[in-house]
Structure 1
Amino acid sequence: MGTGILTGLVIACSTGVSGRESASPSDPAAGGHGAAISSATPPSLQVTVEDASYGTLIIETIPGALCGATVQLPSGGTVLASAFFTDHEADAHGRATWSYATPVAGAGTGSGHYRVHCALAGQSAEASRDFVVP
């Protein structure tokens, strides 16, 4: 008697009894939960400098990445603006922006240099770009 009940239970739980194929977990109309299944590997972290001009640095990376930046002026000095003292989180579009007032006293003229580093999910990436101080 016990074996007959167990066999009936196994048959009732098979997908053939319901009359439809197994539903994708991401298909709510077919009985799934509606959540997309993501890959276990996060996208590769990269940083691209979109704009590097005297007074502005704009980068693009993965949304949510934490990024820090430094600036070296032609004179060899650095910019001590508050924007450069803390990391910036890349917005929903993957952008982060640093800006500071110009002219910077003692900046000199010629080529300056930005360096940015970002980190997310155990990955890190860096980028740099020169800019001109008139």
Structure 2
Amino acid sequence: MRQRLPWPAADFDRRARRTPDAVALHDGEFMLTYRELATARDRLAVEIGRSRVPRGTLVGLRLGHGWLSVVGILGVRKHGCGYLPLDPRHPAARQHRLLRRAGVRHLLTESPDGLALEHLPTLSGRPVRAPVR
């Protein structure tokens, strides 16, 4: 019989409750505590829900390799969706092809305000507030 492994989100939540002021994420000069990261994740998950993204669907993540990608992954998973990571350095045609083939209807991207949720195929770019600090 296969042993069921704990979901990493449960480990994150447990750690955030146990040591909320410990550093959870270090990105260059920028640091987030578990409390700050959990707050940003929760806010993003709520905003994704307000944007009427159905649970159980795939959300594209076109994010760099910084702290916003961690918030994006955690927020999408907290809302109950899967995610398709896209490297913003790849050609746009390749990214669109991957999104189309996977049937992704929502795309989380970086914006000057933090994160933006775009509804495909229109790519309307409605900002999603996931403030940190």
Give the TM interval when normalised to the shorter protein. Answer: under 0.3
Which structure: larger Rg? 1
Report which of the two has the higher share of strand: 1
Scaled by the length of structure 1, what TM-score is found? 0.25
Scaled by the length of structure 2, what TM-score is found? 0.25
Report which of the two has the higher share of helix: 2
